[in-house]
């Protein structure tokens, strides 16, 4: 009890969104110079409670959590896979055709929990459920809650970092035919060669311990980590950095609302020369009760006129609004949440009327943020695509020339065509003036302009196209065509081109 009290005092108001082992590991402390942090991970339940605003301690501040996550996940979108092999491309496109929403959910869970595991599975299809599937098999993937992988459930190579074994552990409850509650523990260890399933307790019929070979030759589980770190096995939630500010925002709002109860109803103040006369003229019943030494209560509701003497006075007493005093602090906390989350202000709507930055000005910041988030998951998505192609090849019996997969993403934000046209016009005029002044070569101008026009090539490819265009614009072009044909003949004769 003393140690717990000391730890609570030591932690104070620091972040409570991460679970840590407070006690030292003596073996690692004295023998190992480096130890991967396998026990420290996000408090998944608290992170989800913040996202869905279910924690009473954050109710008035956690409303910012969902726009942050949804904005990042929404602008990230889903990747497009590009295969070198055309047949592999066709199969992969068919596989991911109906997985867009699940891929979007993968990004969302990764941002909330800091990590997510997905498992590729081969579902034996039922002709009634999947009549469109002619091969009798169906490849799919499921999201694995990170709680199913216990501490130490991931075995990895300390040199390469590749996973050598992953263990899934869950406690399940069910009701048998007699209506009795039953419980069992499901444990499954996956390696590249074996799948070992262990059942403990009273499991439903059909679930039993067994050891079977892994038909794929690899572990079909991909680990997505948000903000990965070489010293940590687990990722970081996007809500971790802003959790203290959400709590502070909640506390300030609670204080302001509590104070508003004091000043919401003004108090009436009387300055009277003769109290008895005032009561007798305006509240005769209260005056009689006072004479009989009874408790009196004045109720002025419904009274339109109060009779008073020349020296008497009446006025209202109003307290200063607590909300007005805290608005500056709330605005400061709001911008702290924006700066820490790196999500633009427009994602939260118009909660603060003093917004200084427009959507156009905040767009580049969001673009760079999304690009960094996409880079963090590209390796995992490539691994996912290669595993899927390998499994499809095993199922269908087809072999592909290459299993290499590249990833392309859609534009983060739609282009402003008018702005792009104005930019292109200014750049073109500037390059034209530079060419007229002989301070830049045409090759440099073409290479620079090719960055803004997608249909342009670099100087080596664009030069001949420019010459063709010049000659086509002239009235007589026979000489040019003859010279071009002669050049082609010379190239063929000298071996420059193949017939």
pLDDT at 355 over 90: no
CA atoms of 338 and 320, how far apart (whole Å) = 30
Q: What is the DSSP letter of 305?
A: -
CA atoms of 27 and 34, how far apart (whole Å) = 11
Which of 60-69, 266-275, 320-329, 461-470 bottoms out in mean pLDDT, i.e. has the lowest?
320-329
Are 424 and 412 in contact, with CB atoms under 8 Å apart?
Answer: no
Could you tell me which residue, 350 or 447, shows the higher pLDDT? 447
Which of 30-34, 265-269, 337-341, 456-460 bottoms out in mean pLDDT, i.e. has the lowest?
30-34
Which of 29-38, 364-373, 413-422, 478-487 bottoms out in mean pLDDT, i.e. has the lowest?
29-38
Alpha-carbon distances of 6 from 20, 283, 302, 441, 460, rounded to whole Å: 16, 61, 59, 73, 72
Digit-coded pLDDT (tens) for 172-230:
999 988 899 999 999 999 999 999 999 999 999 888 999 999 999 999 999 999 999 88
pLDDT at 23 over 90: no
Q: How many CB atoms lie within 10 A of CB 90?
A: 11
Which of 107-111, 152-156, 312-316, 390-394 bottoms out in mean pLDDT, i.e. has the lowest?
312-316
Element holding 87 (H helix, E strand): helix 86-96
Angle at 302 between CA 292 and CA 259, to 5 degrees: 90
Query: Where are the strands (E) in 276-430, listed by range?
Result: 313-317, 405-408
User: pLDDT grade, residue 130 (50/70/90)?
Assistant: very low
User: pLDDT grade, residue 265 (50/70/90)?
Assistant: low
State the angle between helix axes of 44-51 and 65-76 in degrees (0 to 180), rounded to the nearest 10. Answer: 90
User: pLDDT grade, residue 481 (50/70/90)?
Assistant: low
pLDDT at 306 over 70: yes
Average pLDDT over residues 385-399: 90
* Whole-number pLDDT of residue 416: 56
* Whole-number pLDDT of residue 296: 79
Q: What is the DSSP letter of 37?
A: B
* Whole-number pLDDT of residue 348: 82
Element holding 493 (H helix, E strand): helix 478-493
CA atoms of 70 and 461, how far apart (whole Å) = 44
* Whole-number pLDDT of residue 126: 40
* Whole-number pLDDT of residue 188: 95
CA atoms of 54 and 70, how far apart (whole Å) = 17
* Whole-number pLDDT of residue 440: 87
pTM of structure: 0.71
- Beta-bridge mates of residue 83: 405
Chain-centroid distance of CA 412 in Å reads: 14
Average pLDDT over residues 4-18: 53
Could you tell me which residue, 288 or 10, shows the higher pLDDT? 288
* Whole-number pLDDT of residue 351: 46
Digit-coded pLDDT (tens) for 96-119:
988 999 999 999 999 999 999 999
* Whole-number pLDDT of residue 10: 46
* Whole-number pLDDT of residue 237: 94
Report the candidate in 279, 266, 267, 269 with the shortest Cα–Cα distance to residue 306: 279
* Whole-number pLDDT of residue 319: 61
Average pLDDT over residues 265-294: 79
pLDDT at 496 over 60: no
Mean pLDDT of the chain: 80
CA atoms of 129 and 458, how far apart (whole Å) = 53
CA atoms of 370 and 111, how far apart (whole Å) = 12
Could you tell me which residue, 446 or 14, shows the higher pLDDT? 446
Alpha-carbon distances of 334 from 17, 254, 330, rounded to whole Å: 20, 15, 6
Average pLDDT over residues 302-307: 74
Average pLDDT over residues 361-372: 84
Angle at 120 between CA 202 and CA 221, to 5 degrees: 85
Digit-coded pLDDT (tens) for 133-175:
444 447 899 999 999 999 889 998 888 888 999 999 999 999 9
Domain ranges for the chain, please list them.
267-317, 417-493
Q: What percent of the chain has pLDDT over 70?
A: 77
Chain-centroid distance of CA 148 in Å reads: 22
* Whole-number pLDDT of residue 194: 95
Are 243 and 16 in contact, with CB atoms under 8 Å apart?
Answer: yes
Digit-coded pLDDT (tens) for 401-434:
888 999 999 888 665 566 677 788 888 888 888 8
* Whole-number pLDDT of residue 259: 65
* Whole-number pLDDT of residue 6: 46
* Whole-number pLDDT of residue 182: 92
The top-scoring range by mean pLDDT among 107-111, 361-365, 367-371, 468-472 is 107-111
* Whole-number pLDDT of residue 25: 42
């Amino acid at each position: 009890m003393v140690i717990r009290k000391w730890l609570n005092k030591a932690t104070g108001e620091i972040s409570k969104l991460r679970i840590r082992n407070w006690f030292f590991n003596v073996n690692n402390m004295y023998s190992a110079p480096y130890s991967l942090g396998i026990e420290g991970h996000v408090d998944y339940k608290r992170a989800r409670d913040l996202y869905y605003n279910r924690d009473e301690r954050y109710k008035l501040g956690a409303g910012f959590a969902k726009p942050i996550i949804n904005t990042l996940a929404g602008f990230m979108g889903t990747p497009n896979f590009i295969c070198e092999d055309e047949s592999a491309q066709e199969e992969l496109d068919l596989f991911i055709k109906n997985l867009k929403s699940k891929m979007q959910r993968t990004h969302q869970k990764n941002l909330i929990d800091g990590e997510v595991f997905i498992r590729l599975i081969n579902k034996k299809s039922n002709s009634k459920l999947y009549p469109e599937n002619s091969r009798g098999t169906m490849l799919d993937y499921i999201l694995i809650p990170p709680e199913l992988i216990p501490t130490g459930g991931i075995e990895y190579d300390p040199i390469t970092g590749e996973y050598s074994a992953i263990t899934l552990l869950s406690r399940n409850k069910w009701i048998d035919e007699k209506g009795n509650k039953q419980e069992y523990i499901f444990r499954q260890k996956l390696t590249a060669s074996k799948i070992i399933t262990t059942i403990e307790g009273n499991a439903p019929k059909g679930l039993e311990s067994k050891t079977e070979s892994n038909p794929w030759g690899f572990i079909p589980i991909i680990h997505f980590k948000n903000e990965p770190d070489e010293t940590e096995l687990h990722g970081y939630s996007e809500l971790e950095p802003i959790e203290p500010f959400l709590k502070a925002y909640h506390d300030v709002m609670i204080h302001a609302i509590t104070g508003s109860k004091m000043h919401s109803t003004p108090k009436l103040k009387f300055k009277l020369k003769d109290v008895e006369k005032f009561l007798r003229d305006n509240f005769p019943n209260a005056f009689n009760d006072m004479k009989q030494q009874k408790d009196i209560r004045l109720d002025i509701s419904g009274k339109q006129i109060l009779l008073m003497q020349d020296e008497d006075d009446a006025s209202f007493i109003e307290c200063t609004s607590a909300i007005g005093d805290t608005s500056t602090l709330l605005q400061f906390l709001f911008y702290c949440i924006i700066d820490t989350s790196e999500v633009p202000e427009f994602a939260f709507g118009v909660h603060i009327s003093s917004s200084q930055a427009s959507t156009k000005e905040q767009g580049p910041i969001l673009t760079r943020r999304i690009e960094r988030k996409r880079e963090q998951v590209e390796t995992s998505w490539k691994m996912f695509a290669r595993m899927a192609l390998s499994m499809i090849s095993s199922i269908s019996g087809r072999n592909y020339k290459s299993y290499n997969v590249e990833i392309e993403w859609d534009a983060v934000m739609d282009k402003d065509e008018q702005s792009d046209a104005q930019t292109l016009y200014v750049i073109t005029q500037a390059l034209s003036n530079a060419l007229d002044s002989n301070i830049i070569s045409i090759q440099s101008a073409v290479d620079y302009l090719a960055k803004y026009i997608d249909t342009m090539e670099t100087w080596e490819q664009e030069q001949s196209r420019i010459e063709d265009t010049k000659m086509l614009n002239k009235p007589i072009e026979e000489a040019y065509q003859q010279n071009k044909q002669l050049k082609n003949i010379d190239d063929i004769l000298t071996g420059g081109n193949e017939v």
